Structure 1
Amino acid sequence: MYKHIPLLVRATPKGIVATFSTSHARGYYSVGSEMDGMWGYFKVYRQDFGGLEEYTMIGRTLQEVVTLYAELVGYPRLVPRWAFGYLAGGMRYSMMDSPRASEALMEFAEKLTKYDIPCSGFQMSSGYTMSEEEPRSRNVFTWNKHRFPDPKGFCDEYHKRGIRLIANIKPYILANHPEYDDLVDGGAFFTDPRTGKTGVARLWSAGGGTSGEGGHIDFTSKAGYNFWYNGVKELRKVGMDCMWNDNNEYLLPSDNWQLALESSATSEGTIADAELERKDTGLWGRALHTELMGKSSHDALLEVVPHERPFVLTRSATAGTMRYASSTWSGDNVTSWEGMRGANALSLNAGMSLLQCYGHDIGGFEGPQPSPELLLRWVQLGCHSPRFAINCYKTGNDSFAGDVIEPWMYPGIIPELRKAIRRRYTMIPYLYSLMLHSTRTAIPPQRWTGWGYEHDPEIWSNQLLKDGETQYWLGDTLLIGGVYEPGVSEAKVYLPRKGSADPGFLNTNAPH
């Protein structure tokens, strides 16, 4: 999931208790698997560095506890209305040299029109930043002019079709980046205390399985923060509408690498005084940079176009990231019926963690291509979630660029896929209303079946607790179920009891 949100919620028929740790340092929960001879089984949270600052929240319902949590860490940011539409993507498109990536993407847009499929945004993978000469690597905030001879013209053409562009940006710099040496001289990276020089790591560089040396941006350094801020501004001026903060969980090789901790790095006093002696990455936590990256991307977009609501998509997140980055997803899922089903439970947990515009890569990001039946069922389910996106890197014959999932790849199901996607657009007013409500109450759009029905004893049964993978509420009025096995045409859903006078069933044949 690539997330660092140490929030543990224990829900029981008698009430709800949640515990939250504020540290950005790495840690983990052991839930009910620890045992002491005197105290019996217990839960424990362990973290690698720093003192322990925890908050305990108690309520009668999940809603009460989640709202208390939002009061502590901040409410989620409102997503632009258009972002509830179909978001397309695929790593392969921007990796193409022949035909050029810009031409391949224009062909994709033309096929959307041909097959009468609406689309609101396109997630532009980082192939647009790949250097044209060897050694080829992804150089953030640069353009491959062979693949995109006219970046602004390309953006303008997509805008004419009503499609926004979401630019993939990664918070690391390969050693052959044209600005790498200047950033080293300016102190934009972490410092390795063993050498006193810039910390160097192996980083993903080109296509699948390739890597090169480079450094991660230290967002507590003024040089690093400003480089990122200005880079986002330039992308926005070219025509990239939104930012896609990717690969931002900061997998650094050492806890001992040193931060700059310059208090002037950001426009607000969010960084501790620079005179503090301990500047270890492990102590401050890698997730600190995830949050500051979100803030930098958000604020830069807002400066360029102050009258538009910024949209930042983020792969990694902390408890506070969603104040700046309004949408996220479950990460690199794999194509399977089990993966589609299990993703529902991830969504329910994400919602209670205030990741409200949350979804999954429909059809699977990795793995084989989905069968026609699996793709159709996944689209039908996915259109009833806060975030609706098809983006992938399918390792087929070309593992360098991967393959893509397209709505028209299986002619036999195009009518049903079109129907599901168009239904999604009829639901946008409802989804937008849910998200607006969430920004003020913290109530997630996608909810456990027992949300608001905690008094119903049946929802606490083992079977219904497990059914978090098969059904959920989308708002107060839509109970969503799916098809999670091939060849299935019938399914059961549980309707929670509204009160003691509720008979527990609905006669759908009765006149209304």
Structure 2
Amino acid sequence: MVRIKLLILVVLCVITCTVTATELVVSVDGKPIKIIFITPKVIRVIKYQDTIKPDKEELVMIKTPEKVPVKKTERKDYIQFQSPELKVSIHKKSGVLSFFDGTTLLLRERKEDIVLKEGVKQGFLLSNDEAIYGLGQHQDGKMNQRGQHLYLKQRNTEIAIPFFQSTAGYGVYWNNYSATTFSDNEDGTFFSSEKGSNIDYVFIKGAEADDIIASFRALTGTAAMFPKWAFGYWQSKERYKSQFELLDVVKQYRKLKVPLDGIIQDWQYWGVDKKMWNGVTFNNPLFPAPDKMIDSIHQLNAKLMISVWPSFGSKTQIYKELESKNKLYDFLTYPPDPEIKVYDAFSKDARDVYWKHMNKNLFAKGVDGWWLDATEPVMKQRNVSDGIVHHENEVSDMLHNPKNQQTALGDFEIYANAYPLQSVAGIYEGQRNANKNKRVFIMTRSAFAGQQRYASMLWSGDIRASWQVLKNQIAGGVNLSMTGIPYWNTDIGGFFITPNYPKGVTDTAYQKLYVRWLQFAAFTPMFRSHGTQTPREIYQFGEKGYWAYDAIEKFINLRYQLLPYIYSNAWEVTAAASTMMRGLAMDFKQDKKTWDINDQYLFGKSLLVAPIVDSLSNTRQIYLPKGTTWTDFWTGEQHQGGNTVVKKAPTDIIPLYVKAGSIIPFAQKQQYVGEKADETLELRIYTGADGEFSLYEDEGDNYNYEKGISSLIAFSWNDKNKSLTISKTKGEFPGMLKKRRFHIVLVNQSKGTGAQMSASFKAVEYSGKQQQIRF
């Protein structure tokens, strides 16, 4: 017997009617299925075991369901509900749900015949002719996630996000925070979670990848805008052992005139006593005057990011305060010591205590950004044969049974994967309350769905230095980006260099790997050098004139010249739910050859990046997606899409191709963000198609942009008429340039190529009014 109940309903339905409903409940064999139309193309499905009651606190989804007009139709075998965008049908006997776009089947549930003793499982039937992406960050180098068997549990180098999107035009978010297994095989596609009594998932219809991500971000939160200086170059290592060493690095970069925007202080600035672990204060005698140190960094026009962990030693003030509130967990963390405990990030009180100490001891002294390390805090470290260090959550490593470990919300195992979301939220909200005028910038090792709303920059964890690991970063970063979290980076050169490169930076083989890694990193959202066992500063690679030094300097400079393009793309991420690091299938889904390319991607929608990931060759094959013309960034040579080209790339070149119709602003070289106003920009136009680009600018480091205090200049290229239209400036902000000059270059094999400014251009004086330039 099937029973139907429509909530928020003011009319009775007989067979077919149109209603305005938020929630619909269908009972199959006495078990209720709730269908919530959150928007016309986003549906949440909850299958209850008996009565309608939640099995967890909602942490991820923040959007209030809209009042969606829904048409109900009942037939012999099924009931269907249809919004203006999406139709869902429920088979009366089996309870199986199917999702349609008009008459086109997008996805159907698999009738599950496996009963779990504990936890929940749901299967789906995907067609053979679709690729899927997402599921977080994984280190296997696989782009298309079909055929995968993945254990989704937060670990060092592994980021668990139970969301995937399909080339068939939909996405699925599995709304469960416990450890989950994802499996795709000949029997179906499954999510199976260790904890939970209710099956809970969200189906999203989207014609393109950007549409799916936009709906998922609308559901889970808009990506925050980082300060502009976050997109410059960052130097780090494990670790700077004194404030004098730290300051000297910044001074060396300024002396060498190599651009630098940030320096990072890793652990033990609090001292070496484990009982003082992560005291969230400068307690190390080698940092005797942190206030003056930070002031000096700022006077050198650089920013400081600092490492903070979620665990604390027993002698620290923060430990004592959290202990008094019973807000510490009783399980082993890293470093494994019974005197070091993790705080309960699911407690608002505990998050407030955490931020209070960070604010008083670090933020008030001028710290600019946060490196929240080990945000998957239950860890055991072990080395494995794939060259990656994993930290796994294992029951045997607990001091107490994890089944008895309670959080402020309930059983830790029910909520474990959402730990980084909650921990990062406390810092984001704390800083925003403490200072309305300084943007939050957080780098963290782990994430869960929705974390983009808390100014999170992810990194790929403690990876080892090898060419295969370098290659695997590409698919890992792209798949993470396709879960809706747009900001990601990696330790340039790999965190650990042994056993492959025991001589470190003096080894020419390592230098080659490092340079290739840095070239790749220049085209990721954050550009950051970090690692242990060998230093990474540019001057460690020799002097100017040495190939490694020159290549590093070249790409740091190129990064700064591309900052107008990068920052404008960052605005698109916030304002239009765009994605900066893009799998080829996001923009070229119709070209099936792009579906499983794991060593190329788009940086923004214009630049195709094909890193060198092979130690044996400076030449590689590159597939250029069909449907457009591509221009070699370095030579200006044009190629038709749908073809594979062979590119020679000496050690100071990374293969880059620009899509026809692209307009890329190219800035002058500078030593740090804001050193020079962009009074003169080179506009490179890549002909062969019409194109548009909007140059976004604002004050760079406050939240006035949320009030619309910013500016946009739109550029439109008409390829047939060979004309460029520059729009009237929209918006304004304090300090905005009133007049500027654009050097406009139509790129060909003789000009507008490579990292140098073109000597041949058409100069245009611009004062904010619309104008058209013909060629």
**TM-score (norm. length: structure 2):** 0.55
Q: Are 1:10 and 2:166 matched, yes or no?
A: yes
- Judge conservation of contact 2:346–2:423 (CA < 8 Å) in 1: no
| 1:409–1:451 CA distance, 2 compared to 1 (3 A) | same
| 1:135–1:346 CA distance, 2 compared to 1 (3 A) | closer
3-state SS of paired residue (1:25): coil
1:130: which partner in 2? 271
In structure 2, what is the Cα distance between the partners aligned to 1:118 and 1:367? 25
In structure 2, what is the Cα distance between the partners aligned to 1:174 and 1:17? 46
The Cα shift of 1:473 comes to 0.9
In structure 2, what is the Cα distance between the partners aligned to 1:215 and 1:458? 49
3-state SS of paired residue (1:468): coil
3-state SS of paired residue (1:142): coil
From 451, 457, 472, the counterpart of 1:327: 457
| 1:342–1:221 CA distance, 2 compared to 1 (3 A) | closer
Q: Are 1:485 and 2:609 matched, yes or no?
A: no
Report 1:108-147 matches (<5 A): 108-131=249-272, 134=273, 137-147=276-286
Q: What CA deviation, in whole Å up to 9, does each residue of 1:400-454 have, x standing for no partner?
A: xxx4322222212212211111111111111111111011332211111232222
2:38: which partner in 1? none
1:86: which partner in 2? 233
| 1:476–1:503 CA distance, 2 compared to 1 (3 A) | closer
In structure 2, what is the Cα distance between the partners aligned to 1:117 and 1:499? 36
| 1:16–1:182 CA distance, 2 compared to 1 (3 A) | same
The Cα shift of 1:492 comes to 2.3
Report 1:25-36 matches (<5 A): 25-32=178-185
Q: What CA deviation, in whole Å up to 9, does each residue of 1:339-365 have, x standing for no partner?
A: 111111111101111221211111001
From 204, 209, 230, the counterpart of 2:356: 230
In structure 1, what is the Cα distance between the partners aligned to 2:371 and 2:425? 13
In structure 2, what is the Cα distance between the partners aligned to 1:183 and 1:380? 44
Q: Are 1:452 and 2:587 matched, yes or no?
A: yes
Q: Are 1:410 and 2:536 matched, yes or no?
A: no
1:425 partner amino acid: Y
2:221 partner amino acid: G
Report 1:287-326 matches (<5 A): 287-326=417-456
3-state SS of paired residue (2:339): strand
From 517, 521, 525, the counterpart of 1:386: 525
Q: Alignment RMSD, CA only?
A: 2.4
In structure 2, what is the Cα distance between the partners aligned to 1:6 and 1:458? 26
The Cα shift of 1:44 comes to 0.8
1:161: which partner in 2? 300
Q: Are 1:257 and 2:396 matched, yes or no?
A: no
The Cα shift of 1:287 comes to 3.2
Report 1:426-445 matches (<5 A): 426-445=561-580
In structure 2, what is the Cα distance between the partners aligned to 1:480 and 1:281? 41
1:420: which partner in 2? 555
| 1:419–1:256 CA distance, 2 compared to 1 (3 A) | same
1:472: which partner in 2? 601
3-state SS of paired residue (2:239): helix
In structure 2, what is the Cα distance between the partners aligned to 1:91 and 1:382? 19
| 1:499–1:477 CA distance, 2 compared to 1 (3 A) | closer
In structure 2, what is the Cα distance between the partners aligned to 1:220 and 1:69? 23
1:270: which partner in 2? none
- Judge conservation of contact 1:75–1:354 (CA < 8 Å) in 2: no
The Cα shift of 1:286 comes to 1.7
Q: Gaps spanning 5+ residues in structure 1: where?
A: 33-39, 191-198, 262-278, 395-402
- Judge conservation of contact 1:445–1:475 (CA < 8 Å) in 2: yes
In structure 1, what is the Cα distance between the partners aligned to 2:206 and 2:317? 54
In structure 1, what is the Cα distance between the partners aligned to 2:437 and 2:321? 34
From 187, 196, 199, the counterpart of 1:52: 199
In structure 2, what is the Cα distance between the partners aligned to 1:245 and 1:138? 14
In structure 2, what is the Cα distance between the partners aligned to 1:346 and 1:102? 35
In structure 2, what is the Cα distance between the partners aligned to 1:183 and 1:451? 45
From 264, 282, 290, the counterpart of 2:413: 282
Mean CA deviation greater in 502-511 or 472-481: 502-511
In structure 2, what is the Cα distance between the partners aligned to 1:440 and 1:31? 34
1:365: which partner in 2? 495
Identity in percent: 23
3-state SS of paired residue (1:79): coil
Q: Are 1:219 and 2:219 matched, yes or no?
A: no
- Judge conservation of contact 1:3–1:249 (CA < 8 Å) in 2: no
Mean CA deviation greater in 302-311 or 251-260: 251-260
3-state SS of paired residue (2:586): coil
1:352: which partner in 2? 482
From 238, 244, 260, the counterpart of 1:103: 244
In structure 1, what is the Cα distance between the partners aligned to 2:302 and 2:171? 41
| 1:286–1:169 CA distance, 2 compared to 1 (3 A) | same
In structure 2, what is the Cα distance between the partners aligned to 1:30 and 1:430? 39
3-state SS of paired residue (1:204): coil
Q: What CA deviation, in whole Å up to 9, does each residue of 1:465-497 have, x standing for no partner?
A: 2x322x111112111112112242322222212
In structure 2, what is the Cα distance between the partners aligned to 1:165 and 1:155? 7
2:204 partner amino acid: M
| 1:175–1:503 CA distance, 2 compared to 1 (3 A) | closer
3-state SS of paired residue (2:621): coil
In structure 1, what is the Cα distance between the partners aligned to 2:268 and 2:446? 20
- Judge conservation of contact 2:268–2:284 (CA < 8 Å) in 1: no
- Judge conservation of contact 2:277–2:340 (CA < 8 Å) in 1: no
3-state SS of paired residue (2:578): coil
- Judge conservation of contact 2:305–2:370 (CA < 8 Å) in 1: yes
3-state SS of paired residue (1:348): helix
2:585 partner amino acid: G
Q: Are 1:246 and 2:392 matched, yes or no?
A: no
More relative contact order, 1 or 2 (CA 8 Å, 6+ apart): 1
1:276: which partner in 2? none
Q: Gaps spanning 5+ residues in structure 2: where?
A: 1-156, 379-392, 499-503, 630-639, 646-687, 689-746, 752-775
In structure 1, what is the Cα distance between the partners aligned to 2:561 and 2:403? 49
Q: What CA deviation, in whole Å up to 9, does each residue of 1:164-205 have, x standing for no partner?
A: 111111111222324434422222224xxxxxxxx2x33334
The Cα shift of 1:111 comes to 1.6
3-state SS of paired residue (2:598): helix
| 1:430–1:202 CA distance, 2 compared to 1 (3 A) | same
Q: Whose strand fraction is larger, Structure 1's or Structure 2's?
A: 2
3-state SS of paired residue (1:69): helix
Q: Whose helix fraction is larger, Structure 1's or Structure 2's?
A: 1
In structure 2, what is the Cα distance between the partners aligned to 1:302 and 1:180? 24
Mean CA deviation greater in 230-239 or 213-222: 213-222
| 1:222–1:456 CA distance, 2 compared to 1 (3 A) | closer
In structure 2, what is the Cα distance between the partners aligned to 1:222 and 1:63? 34
| 1:481–1:220 CA distance, 2 compared to 1 (3 A) | closer
The Cα shift of 1:218 comes to 0.9
The Cα shift of 1:144 comes to 2.1
3-state SS of paired residue (2:235): strand
3-state SS of paired residue (1:57): strand
In structure 1, what is the Cα distance between the partners aligned to 2:423 and 2:566? 27
The Cα shift of 1:458 comes to 3.5
The Cα shift of 1:106 comes to 1.6
**TM-score (norm. length: structure 1):** 0.82
In structure 2, what is the Cα distance between the partners aligned to 1:475 and 1:130? 42
Mean CA deviation greater in 81-90 or 247-256: 247-256
Structure number with greater Rg is 2
In structure 2, what is the Cα distance between the partners aligned to 1:157 and 1:57? 50
In structure 2, what is the Cα distance between the partners aligned to 1:31 and 1:105? 48
| 1:286–1:308 CA distance, 2 compared to 1 (3 A) | same
